[in-house]
Chains A and B, each alone.
Chain A
Amino acid sequence: MAGLNKVVTSYQEALAGLTDGMTLMVGGFGLCGIPENLITTMRDIGVTDLTCISNNAGVDDFGLGLLLQKNQIKKIYASYVGENALFEKQMLSGELEVVLTPQGTLAEKIRAGGAGIPAFFTATGYGTPIAEGKETREIDGRHYILEPSLTADFALIKAWKADTMGNLVYRNTAMNFNPMMATAGKITVVEVEEIVEAGELDPHHIHTPGIYVNRVIKGTFEKRIEQRTVKAR
């Protein structure tokens, strides 16, 4: 790597330094906008005892489900884990520790982590099991709970296009958790469908500025669809 050129050419290089026991953020909503190839590379490297922060846990044979198959994840922060039988089994047996977190709170914990804010008050979850053990405060007559922010050793994300300096553009709803996670990883690795030269992306249209990004790799993607729904013709 030279100067501000963030491009790497192998997935091994993209994940260099990722070791057992680390905390990772993994972008995506369902299977939409997940870093598919970074996940399969982690499976192949065989890193274990991982803590994953991700809205969902993939399905049995795709996304984070691939790491669950090999018992590589010990703890996961997620908002919804409904589509994964293996996940259920490992959660019920206690092999996998699960911290269910409201989706907006999860997004904000990551945003805050990347923005240097250690915690924030939110009304979400007040009076529910999520609030147990958390500091509460009444502000202007409304009750809030204190939610600590999240950061990670690695953020693994997916974008549509990058330039060589790591400026990113996402496509449609494949954006989801990726922009916040890009800001909250000590090392942020992005896989994209296309890499262009610096200067080719219109600065008005950049979603994630390159300052947050450490490594960029070009991949090819399956983009599996969970609920293919079409209208009757």
Chain B
Amino acid sequence: MAVSREQIAQRIAQELKDGYYVNLGIGIPTLVANYIPEGIEVMLQSENGLLGMGEFPTEENVDADLINAGKQTVTMAKGASLFSSAESFAMIRGGHVDLTVLGAFEVDVSGNIASWMIPGKLIKGMGGAMDLVAGAENIVVTMMHADKKGNSKILDACTLPLTGAQCIKKVVTDLAVLEIKDGAFHLLERAPGVSVEEIIEKTAGKLILPDVVPVMKL
């Protein structure tokens, strides 16, 4: 059984460390905020100009002037700060954010990521994704391992226009946790109930298997 969106988020939350400043993208990455491990302190950065994003507001605390990068109404956590978009991307481009989590359409063995544009389909724009992948040292990509027809999105070379080149080192999918190094995907963990054979079948890019493949702990 592939894991759910919530479980992917739960697994990614294990990458959070005490004292981290973290940027969570839209979609599954946003869910990571629900699984921050007990006993650690992290600050969430929202690229529209907020460091210290809190939970969603109650109806009476909704404030049109306080939103996250997904344009959802939010609150501020204790110790939050506010700043301009230029300052926000100085944090990102300058490598000050400890962990960035974002979604993708495709990744490949060189660490390339495609996440913003499907030629012939509607182009909505890259938002802050190109800045995030270029600026962050520590990026976790979250995505489905294959599309609905079973076509792999874990490739030898991305087919779609890139968001960033040679910048991705870790991928968490509904089937597996993969590390990208030396021109290959290295299988680190498999989802509960998912066989190594299924991962091999749904991974188009070069895949290196360890002797023992641990199961994702959720």
* A residues adjacent to B (C-beta < 8 A): 29-33, 55, 78-82, 88, 91, 100, 102-108, 110-111, 122-130, 160, 170-180, 223-231, 233
Contact = CB atoms under 8 A, between A and B. Distances in A.
Contact of A79 (B46, B122, B128): B128
Given A100-B123, A107-B86, A230 B165 contact: no
A124 B135 contact: yes
B84 A176 contact: yes
Nearest to B128: A103
B84 A108 contact: no
Given A30-B71, A124-B131, A80 B124 contact: yes
How large, as a class, is the contact surface on chain B? 35 or more
Contacts, number: 170
A231 B86 contact: no
A-side binding surface: helix, strand, loop or mixed? loop
A128 B73 contact: no
Given A105-B130, A123-B135, A230 B85 contact: no
A229 B68 CA distance: 10
B85 to A, nearest CB: 4
23 contacts: A80-B124, A102-B126, A102-B127, A102-B129, A103-B85, A104-B89, A104-B131, A125-B130, A126-B164, A126-B165, A128-B163, A129-B161, A129-B162, A172-B63, A173-B82, A175-B83, A178-B84, A225-B67, A226-B67, A227-B70, A227-B71, A231-B55, A231-B56
Contacts of A102: 126-131
B134 A124 contact: yes
A175 B46 CA distance: 13
B182 interface: no
Contacts of A123: 93, 134-135
Contact of B58 (A128, A177, A230): A230
Contacts of A105: 89, 130-131
B125 A78 contact: yes
